[in-house]
Amino acid sequence: MRYVDGFVIAVPTENRKKFIDHAKKGDGVFMDLGATRVVECWGDDVPDGKVTDFRKAVQAKADETVAFSWVEWPDKVTRDAAMAKMTDWMENPEGADPRMDPKKNPMPFDGMRLIYGGFVPLVDLGGEVTA
């Protein structure tokens, strides 16, 4: 069953080009490790909410733009194996994919304010229904 990772990030607006460059390097790793699709979106119409919203979720500042991204995987097993290779820099740098080395591809945003999660698709009107 397909699996989706979603990400919301506050990116300094002046770092748009750096964000694109960073994403192209990282997204290639996702694809090489089994992702079927990666989409990176730059905030265009991200309104302020009364209780919560995307900007509040990532504590976006006035000079930052909210980016929304997702990665589609064929299944959770493929995603989990890929994530282990991509995010293992702290505990097992020898086993991690060298293209994800934060020294070689630094994040052009505050990673502490990035929110993410893994999701099982329930309805997909552009594809097959999985529930």
Domains and CATH numbers, the chain: 3-66+73-115 (3.30.70.100)
Residue pLDDT, tens place only, 8-51:
999 999 999 999 998 998 899 899 999 999 999 999 999 999 99
Residue pLDDT, tens place only, 88-129:
555 666 666 666 666 766 667 877 788 999 999 998 887 655
The whole-number pLDDT of residue 46 equals 95
Mean pLDDT across 54-69:
96
In 12-46, which positions are buried (b, 16+ CB within 10 angstroms) versus exposed (e)?
Answer: beebeeebeebbeebbebbeebebeebebeebeeb
Per the structure block, which two tokens stand in for 90? 């702290």
The secondary structure element, H or E, covering residue 19 is helix 16-32
The whole-number pLDDT of residue 58 equals 96
The answer on pLDDT for 80 being more than 60 is yes
Number of Cβ within 10 Å of residue 60's Cβ equals 23
pTM, entire model: 0.83
The whole-number pLDDT of residue 121 equals 92
The whole-number pLDDT of residue 75 equals 97
The answer on pLDDT for 52 being more than 80 is yes
